[in-house]
Structure 1
Amino acid sequence: MREKSIAVIKQLFENEEITEGIFEQLKRDDRKGVQALIRKYERMQEKEAQQLIAFKEMCNFENEARKSGRKLIAGVDEAGRGPLAGPVVAASVILPQDFMLLGLNDSKQLTEKDRDYFFTVIKEQAISYQIAVISNEKIDQVNILEATKLAMYEAVRGLEQQPDHVLIDAVALPRLGISSEAIVKGDARSVSIAAASILAKVTRDRLMKEIHQEFPMYDFSSNMGYGTKKHLEGLQSHGISPYHRKSFAPIRQYIG
């Protein structure tokens, strides 16, 4: 491999064309650039190995459900319980048993770029998925917890294929009429819930960016409705928008 330039060797790594034999030759190449590529490759391999272990651990709830005879297992999660404005969004998703997406995690732990990529992969590979949006007006009518449950119920009941077991992030849904399990911090412990978390968050973030176009003074495209400094400054200067949650204590002072 000595005759090959570092640029060519880099391309071999990027194209995943490095065989075990080539790798052993490269390890004997004393060029600093080649050794740097090797170290980068080894770090990537180690990261992928750790991600695989983490992914398999996140499949434990699904595997246990399958052992008990369940076949269609849905994960459910929500996005938007805490913001001062905008809807709450819930998603449900049934993944195939052989689903594999290394790096899948609680959506809040991922970059926006990764979330957008995972969002597309999950929708393409899911057996079934559904997303439900509950408006800020409904939140004000029934309170945020009940609105969250309503979104979750709609997301599950809207699935084209109904599951025989449901894994839910933290919230119990007794009226489902289906075997279910509420898991604390489930979006970091179950692949199905993590996938639902991504569908819900990406959907809600995109909705808030659309609302931002109508009401840019609140900076919704950056804060997603949370009470940041710019958001509060917008409230002080302009009052509330039609998308603010009037039942939330920080908003009440700006009403009237």
Structure 2
Amino acid sequence: MIGVDEVGRGAWAGPLIVVGARLKPGRQLPSGLKDSKMLSRVQRERIFPLIMEAFDIGDGWVSPGFIDTHGLTRALEVATFSAVTKLGAQVTDKICIDGVQNFLHSYAFISVVTKVKADMSEPAVAAASIAAKVMRDAYMYDAARTFPNYGFDQHVGYGTQLHRQRLQDNGVCELHRRSFKPIAEFV
């Protein structure tokens, strides 16, 4: 089974990432797999290499500009398709997407299920959740060096008081999603 989860859907800045994860044949599940939101940064970064050893990983990234132009739903569809095709998914593979929406509905995959909180009960989805979070956070930590005035290393693009203050002080940068209401007031 391929587990699929996303990170960055509600962020004010930065990309959206969708990760697909499939346990490699003969590999054991790493202990401690659960929803990335239930793990600390240290715990996520500790288990991430174990996930990369045990699972085949496919990732799909969508830029803030794509989200602004095409909308969040289309961005999720494109990123999800990219993630599962990087895994070499076949139309008959079982795919479990965390949440209620099948972002592969436009494609020929036959066995797609959606499940709320799948990252709590499906190890492949939990692995995808953790991998997506670590990968996107690493991107935002790097972005903090390019855009040092925004505090991306602290809030990783999400809506916080610090982020709002930095927007008031500096305006928007190219990583901000201008179509999101909280950002529109600073454009």
1:176, CA displacement in angstroms?
3.5
Please give the residue correspondences for 1:141-160 in structure 2 after superposition, counting only pairs within 5 Å: 141-160=69-88
Find the counterpart in structure 2 of residue 245 from structure 1: 177
Find the counterpart in structure 2 of residue 74 from structure 1: 2
Larger radius of gyration: 1
Between the aligned partners of 1:227 and 1:252, the Cα distance in structure 2 is 13
CA contact (8 A) 1:218 1:232 kept: no
Between the aligned partners of 1:129 and 1:188, the Cα distance in structure 2 is 19
Between the aligned partners of 2:106 and 2:57, the Cα distance in structure 1 is 20
> Structure 1-normalised TM-score?
0.68
Among 217, 238, 249, the residue aligned to 2:149: 217
Secondary structure in structure 1 of the residue aligned to 2:177: coil
> Structure 2-normalised TM-score?
0.92
2:102 maps to 1:174: no
Find the counterpart in structure 1 of residue 60 from structure 2: 132
CA contact (8 A) 1:89 1:133 kept: yes
Pairwise CA RMSD: 1.5
Find the counterpart in structure 2 of residue 102 from structure 1: 31
1:194, CA displacement in angstroms?
0.5
CA contact (8 A) 2:29 2:54 kept: no
Structure number having the greater strand percentage: 2
- The Cα offsets for residues 191-243 of structure 1, whole Å up to 9 and x where unpaired, read as 11110011111100000011111112211111011121111111111100010
1:161, CA displacement in angstroms?
5.6
Secondary structure in structure 2 of the residue aligned to 1:202: helix
Letter in 1 for 2:16: V
1:175, CA displacement in angstroms?
2.6
Letter in 2 for 1:104: L
Greater length-normalized contact order (CA 8 Å, ≥ 6 residues apart):
2
CA contact (8 A) 2:13 2:177 kept: yes
Letter in 2 for 1:93: A
The total of aligned residue pairs comes to: 182
User: Which blocks of at least 5 consecutive residues in structure 1 are unaligned?
Assistant: 1-72
User: Which blocks of at least 5 consecutive residues in structure 2 are unaligned?
Assistant: none
CA contact (8 A) 2:29 2:123 kept: no
Among 4, 9, 14, the residue aligned to 1:86: 14
Letter in 1 for 2:113: E
Q: Which aligned runs of 4 or more in structure 1 are off by greater than 6 angstroms?
A: none
Between the aligned partners of 2:146 and 2:49, the Cα distance in structure 1 is 26
- The Cα offsets for residues 1-22 of structure 1, whole Å up to 9 and x where unpaired, read as xxxxxxxxxxxxxxxxxxxxxx
